[in-house]
Structure 1
Amino acid sequence: MTTATGALAGSLAVVALTAGTAGAHVTVTPDTTSAGAYAVLTFSVGHGCEGSPTTKLAIQMPESIPVVTPTINPNWTVEKVDEQLAEPVTDAHGNEITERTAQVVYTAKTPLADGFRDTVALSVQLPDAAGDTLAFPVVQTCEQGRTGWTETAAEGQDPEELASPAPVLTITEATGDGGHGGSSSDADTDADTDATDESGAADDADATSDDDGGNGLAIGGLVAGLGGLALGGLALARSGKKA
């Protein structure tokens, strides 16, 4: 990690250097928007700066997300730029945090040619603030020029009117699963299913045992009946000889 100095301020200043019109935007796609959940945010870039290959993506993080875990992409190197917090905060696990990741910078090992798409991803915990919209300004640097995807819509403004909109997401109501995988209701359902399976297996075993017992009794009765007939026949034969 490195400490933020003039790098962060320099990147923010690029807002005024936004290149002209571009055919597509840098976008963010979260795997969940549930309040308080752990989410993977996937940022996509599909064009250069007016035809020039992309060499770097600098993603600004909102202050409400102090901890960021970047995903390794073999086509890029990645660096986290940290800054000291004015006041320490406590994370969901009770750990005290004294600094936050203000920016994540991906640098292309080989410039990404215009017209080709790639993605980078960040793992974060979303703030517990349903209804809030988070912006992630991105500065795209190219071999020639750079574009600041940093504009956010003012209240009542149509985002489609922005020339270089920042990637944004809106937090939704919490689902209760914390974003760590299957929900507790799914787990309960699985547990109930397992219990039912085990109960069913036990019932099958009991039924099999009862069937075996019934078959045994039937066979025993048949053997006893045959034995009785044999003895009866022997007695009848003896009585005939005496007569």
Structure 2
Amino acid sequence: MTTSRIILAPARPARRVLRIALGTAAGLALAVGAPLAASAHVHVDPGTVAAGSTETLTFAFSHGCDGSPTTALVIDIPDGVGNVTPIVDGGWIIARESGADGVPTQITFTSDTPVEDGFKATVAMDVLFDESAAGSTLAFPVTQRCAEGETAWAEIAEDGQDPHDLDAPAPLVEVGAVAEGDAHGHAEASDEGAAADGSTADGSAAAGEGEHADSEAAAAPEADPVARWLAAGGLVAGIAALVVVLLRGRSRKPGDV
């Protein structure tokens, strides 16, 4: 009577499986964390304007100073700006410093209540861009003051340098050609649609609605960093569960139910 013996190949060591899974989880965490680090600065919207026009600039942030809540934003006004009118909004106390010509040189928004890290907040002001600024990029340095410490978002990339490599980039606004129309950037009424008193017809109204829609689209909030971290945590938890299942499957003996 011949007895045959079946030799089973040794299972892959559980420790190796665990290392692979942990490496994958670490890679996913870095993939999610890198964009978050890159987005951790003060944003300005819109980023492109026309010379000779007045635009509402909105400055947004969703982080503190190394976790410390934000107490104030101090915005420096660059040359090339003809006037600045801060927009009053609940929750902020506004102070201005002006030059000899009466044009504000610095605007300070102080929060009534410190803004916790991970919460998004915005401040805004109407800015008149001089026609002489056409074709240039203006930097609006922002000092973010916090309960503990502060961050000066004032770095400007040099020629050939990638702005994404900066640790604390200043918000930038590109100024295009001089806008057609008056100093407020309003388009002139067409000969066909303009009335005798200068009011616009339906065609101009439709154009205004289109501009309003574009403005709302540009002001759409960015992805919430907290939500993205939660999503990353879910991915890591899912991988951990997969590791447990694999290890249990490896540990079972033939014939186990």
| TM-score, normalised with respect to structure 2 | 0.57
Asked if the contact 1:55/1:142 (under 8 Å) is kept, the reply is yes
Kindly indicate whether residue 79 of structure 2 is the aligned counterpart of residue 63 of structure 1.
Answer: yes
What percentage of residue pairs aligned between the two structures are identical? 42
Asked if the contact 2:52/2:185 (under 8 Å) is kept, the reply is no
The size of the alignment, in residue pairs, is 161
Give me the CA root mean square deviation: 2.4
Displacement after TM superposition at 1:80 (Å): 0.3
Letter in 1 for 2:127: V
Kindly indicate whether residue 56 of structure 2 is the aligned counterpart of residue 54 of structure 1.
Answer: no
Asked if the contact 1:62/1:135 (under 8 Å) is kept, the reply is yes
SS of the counterpart of 2:44?
strand
| Residue matched to 2:104 | 101
Structure 2 CA distance for aligned equivalents of residues 157 and 23 of structure 1: 18
Structure 1 unmatched ranges of 5 or more: 1-20, 85-97, 196-243
| Residue matched to 1:172 | 176
Structure 1 runs (4+) deviating above 2 angstroms are 177-182, 187-195
Most deviating of 150-159 and 131-140: 150-159
Q: 1:103 to 1:181 in 2, by over 3 A?
A: closer
Structure 2 CA distance for aligned equivalents of residues 179 and 53 of structure 1: 39
| Residue matched to 1:158 | 162
Displacement after TM superposition at 1:105 (Å): 0.1
Structure 2 unmatched ranges of 5 or more: 1-36, 203-257
Structure 2 CA distance for aligned equivalents of residues 105 and 182 of structure 1: 29
Displacement after TM superposition at 1:26 (Å): 0.4
Displacement after TM superposition at 1:156 (Å): 1.9
Letter in 1 for 2:112: K
Asked if the contact 2:180/2:186 (under 8 Å) is kept, the reply is no
| Residue matched to 1:207 | none
Displacement after TM superposition at 1:23 (Å): 5.2
Displacement after TM superposition at 1:78 (Å): 0.3
Larger-gyration structure (1/2): 1
Asked if the contact 1:32/1:40 (under 8 Å) is kept, the reply is no
| Residue matched to 1:38 | 54
| TM-score, normalised with respect to structure 1 | 0.60
Asked if the contact 2:53/2:185 (under 8 Å) is kept, the reply is no
Structure 2 CA distance for aligned equivalents of residues 39 and 30 of structure 1: 8
| Residue matched to 1:240 | none
